[in-house]
Structure 1
Amino acid sequence: MSRAAVLSDSEWARLEPLMPSSKNCPGRPFQDHRRILEGIIYRYRAGIPWRDLPESFGPWQTVWKRHRRFSGDGTWDAIMTRLLSQADAAGLIDWEVSVDSTVNRAHQHGTNLPRTTGGTSNYTNLLTEPADHAIGRSRGGLTTKIHALCDANLRPLVILLGPGQGGDSPMFPEVLGSLRVPRLGGGRPRTTPDRAMGDKAYSSKANRKMLRDRGIHAVIPERSDQVANRKRRGQAGGRPPTFDKVSYKRRNVIERCFEVFKQWRGIATRYDKLALTYRGGVVLRAIIIWAKALGDTP
């Protein structure tokens, strides 16, 4: 197989019906979706400038504009949602989920747009470019943080962005609230996992109460300062929260999920100026993961 090609025929057969038709979109008719999609994938996999795309993918401007369009109009998210519905119907989603974030260095070519800084706002409005472009300053310099929720099989369910200095705990309600998998046979979408696992960064009374109110079993260890504070207060400190050490050993699936994402160099390092297009590349990576997982399932 050519290194310029990623999609198999069976994977493209699953994605092709989900791609937008020119009949429903204004402007010129779309060029071959498969060639353009392979070009977008190649760019993120290799981590090269858009202008350096091989000519076999067509004009680089066309590839870039297609990705910018589909990132901004919700096309990538719609395809991702459809694949999640198919996977849920096929029983491929394990609803023991893990949450975490990973910090990615922003390349100097992706940080030269004017931006509002100083805040810790997270990128939750997926179709609007944030004022800070989801770039912040942390110990690693100018960075972007990917917040993700994955199932027990290392496959992503939710992907959000935030600046590198943003906290994980305040973002947890947004991440969990973004979990929505429609059912192919009708009915209410599934929004509640059976169990949610996170590291000590997610240990807060607000997060535990949110999970308890929604009937989700929490597997989150206490921070040492929380333990000390509870013991210092004696009986007034209350009982320690339940914690399943055996189940917590499986939380590493989210770290391994990030490893799979960062095999694409354009995700491991952010070269995109816009948060819209960078997140679009991350969602596209998730689309490919689910397309491969679905394989030839009906």
Structure 2
Amino acid sequence: MPDSTGRAGRPFKEHRLVVEGIIYRYRAGIPWRDLPEHFGSWKTVWKRHRRYAADGTWDSVLATLLGHAESRGLIDWEVSVDSTINRAHQHGTNLPRHTGGPSNYKNLLEEPPDHAIGKSRGGLTTKIHSLVDGNQRPLVVMVGPGQAGDSPMFENLLGALKVKNPATGATRRRPVRAMADKAYSSRGNRKYLRERGIQCVIPEKDDQKANRKRKGSAGGRPVTYDKEAYKRRNVVERSFNALKQWRGMATRYDKLALTYRSAVVLHAVVIWSAALEKSRLGDTP
């Protein structure tokens, strides 16, 4: 019997049950081999997730949901950026890693040489970098090694933001404003936002203030930002709180950054699916 690709072979197991198995695994934080028999063979569930991670299926699903959300006016374009650091379990760190290359990779469907695992004070760790809308719903997610800085990922996150409205065909790439904490304070990030007409809500670091004052008039004007808007930046922190309710996210058990990041994307898919369903039923999203 031909499968969905037209090739002869065993038919695909029901997609819904397999996806539920993937979600269950990450919510419970269990080994793939311990997946309940209700979901069928754990190998099938794992292989489906691995396939969808590599071919960009999860990203395509999220992009489609974001498009429908935009057409219904559900996206709040006041975005916030931040990262959260997670411990990498020993079961996810036993692959060879080449740590000499750049850590802020942009190709989300390519496995980075360091597998987005780095060594920091807490041991082997990984970071989830996220850009969320004003309702704490993820729009863009990336991963990187735990010891890497946040600021270099800022342009990558903003650059990956792209939502196509299926009703109008228009693609939106620019939020109204972008908010982040002092870790993202740099001239480069401010220039990036200014050139794109995006309001910058990022406070200045104390050492940057002192350096600017020391230079006098040559140091430039003081950095100003909307302090009332900055109070709403905590939506990204609350988004991470919801993400870490999935135990497989709070601790990384995956060997590959590709599959770990795709699970974070799947979490975003669940969030946006719920928001669209509430909108369809007429409830407040």
TM-score of the pair, normalised by structure 1: 0.90
Matching residue of 1:13 = none
CA contact (8 A) 1:81 1:181 kept: yes
Matching residue of 2:273 = 291
CA contact (8 A) 2:84 2:128 kept: yes
SS of residue in 2 equivalent to 1:295: helix
Pick the aligned partner of 2:64 from 82, 87, 98: 82
Q: What is the Cα deviation at residue 120 of structure 1?
A: 4.7
Counting only pairs closer than 5 Å after superposition, residues 136-147 of structure 1 correspond to structure 2 as: 136-147=118-129
Q: What is the Cα deviation at residue 22 of structure 1?
A: 4.3
CA contact (8 A) 2:4 2:12 kept: no
Matching residue of 2:139 = 157
Counting only pairs closer than 5 Å after superposition, residues 135-284 of structure 1 correspond to structure 2 as: 135-284=117-266
SS of residue in 1 equivalent to 2:171: coil
Residue 85 of structure 2 is aligned to residue 100 of structure 1: no
Amino acid at match of 2:215: R
Counting only pairs closer than 5 Å after superposition, residues 61-140 of structure 1 correspond to structure 2 as: 61-140=43-122
Bigger Cα displacement from structure 2, 125-134 vs 218-227: 125-134
The CA distance in 2 between the partners of 1:174 and 1:258, in whole Å, is 19
The CA distance in 1 between the partners of 2:33 and 2:79, in whole Å, is 39
- Evaluate the alpha carbon distance shift between residue 185 and residue 238 of structure 1 in structure 2; reply closer, same or farther with a 3 A threshold: same
Matching residue of 2:42 = 60
Matching residue of 1:4 = none
Gaps of 5+ in 2: 281-285
The CA distance in 2 between the partners of 1:98 and 1:296, in whole Å, is 23
Matching residue of 1:23 = 4
Note the alpha carbon deviations across 1:107-163, whole angstroms, 9 max, x for none.
000000111124451242111111111101112110111110000101000001111
Q: What is the Cα deviation at residue 278 of structure 1?
A: 0.5
Q: What is the Cα deviation at residue 29 of structure 1?
A: 2.5
Matching residue of 1:48 = 30
The CA distance in 2 between the partners of 1:227 and 1:297, in whole Å, is 45
The CA distance in 1 between the partners of 2:49 and 2:10, in whole Å, is 16
Matching residue of 1:8 = none
The CA distance in 1 between the partners of 2:181 and 2:101, in whole Å, is 24
CA contact (8 A) 1:100 1:149 kept: yes
Q: What is the Cα deviation at residue 257 of structure 1?
A: 0.3
SS of residue in 1 equivalent to 2:152: helix
Amino acid at match of 2:270: I
The CA distance in 2 between the partners of 1:220 and 1:297, in whole Å, is 32
The CA distance in 2 between the partners of 1:280 and 1:175, in whole Å, is 16
Amino acid at match of 2:210: A
The CA distance in 2 between the partners of 1:187 and 1:40, in whole Å, is 32
Note the alpha carbon deviations across 1:230-289, whole angstroms, 9 max, x for none.
111111212112211111110000000000000000000000001111111111001001
Note the alpha carbon deviations across 1:55-102, whole angstroms, 9 max, x for none.
000000000000000011000000000000011111110000000001
The CA distance in 2 between the partners of 1:76 and 1:197, in whole Å, is 26
- Evaluate the alpha carbon distance shift between residue 102 and residue 25 of structure 1 in structure 2; reply closer, same or farther with a 3 A threshold: farther
- Evaluate the alpha carbon distance shift between residue 178 and residue 25 of structure 1 in structure 2; reply closer, same or farther with a 3 A threshold: farther
The CA distance in 2 between the partners of 1:126 and 1:30, in whole Å, is 26
Aligned length: 278
TM-score of the pair, normalised by structure 2: 0.94
- Evaluate the alpha carbon distance shift between residue 24 and residue 116 of structure 1 in structure 2; reply closer, same or farther with a 3 A threshold: same
CA contact (8 A) 1:144 1:163 kept: yes
